[in-house]
Structure 1
């Protein structure tokens, strides 16, 4: 199976803003909805830790997640400046964040499957896309391009998430064989998954993350 590395397959299309609290990114200075950012907290020993769920106690620092922004914040000492103290940043910090974000996304896939909010496999995904407009399409990054383009045509203007390999999708969905195609109905579950994938996408720049400009997340 050919891996998707085409430049036009990695496009990030603008999505309507989320509602809710705004936070400032310590790397870029941008003020954005907190759903778009990643929170960091300080452990009791002074170590900086990623707080993906934004629930750890104490003062938090927000950053628009990407390898470049993390590297900039570390190099310029932005975390320590914001904390007004010297912080310890573990080796491989960026790689750890990418791994945690991927695990969080894949865990949501498993929850969606168990809740009846996801179908997988070529035939089931094809049938679902033909009868459900606006569904979120998932495709394995190492899947056949012919099959992926066929599903994209059926999905029309729906979001396309191709951040995971067929093996990663299979493990998340509890399948014994590779999973290349899956779909989720538009709603609370897919909106939450899409938000998590947006944070992961910059760490997997050779994969697909396509969101139509007129796609508005529905969480109610």
Structure 2
């Protein structure tokens, strides 16, 4: 089993949120719970993850364009504007000290971006706020950092769940990504990087019927 010890959530993005939720349900048997809308023009749905029989705080975020956004332009967040189908696009980790992790990475040659504020409203109108690294040109092949502060982590909320079997990064040339992960100084808190013909993430989940699916 390969699971980053500091994994916060895995991001699966798509060009249409409702279609993304249906796609995930067809493959896993789990219907994601509505999450809320972001100021970035996106909206999400959530599924908690269980690891070794324990629920959360890890979760999956299904993210797509907010159906209620102004205009028809697709958001750039997580490359949504370029997607034609659902794709595992990114992941977040939650270090003990987000500022210290940013400083360590910069001192070792990688800048993960400034720590900035973001928020969304849940379907019942509750405002959730957190901090994360999302600098311009944020890379999707390495994790972004997140700090929930006093906001309850979504993976612990009352939402549907599925078992996480493994989560890894694949790269034709693993070393450059491994060097960036080393610069973060988080040890096994980040995803392992495996050699492969094509770049991307491998996410394995176990359905309620015991079958393992790879997304």
Which of 1 and 2 has greater Rg?
1
Taking structure 1 as the reference length, the TM-score comes to: 0.24
Higher strand share: 2
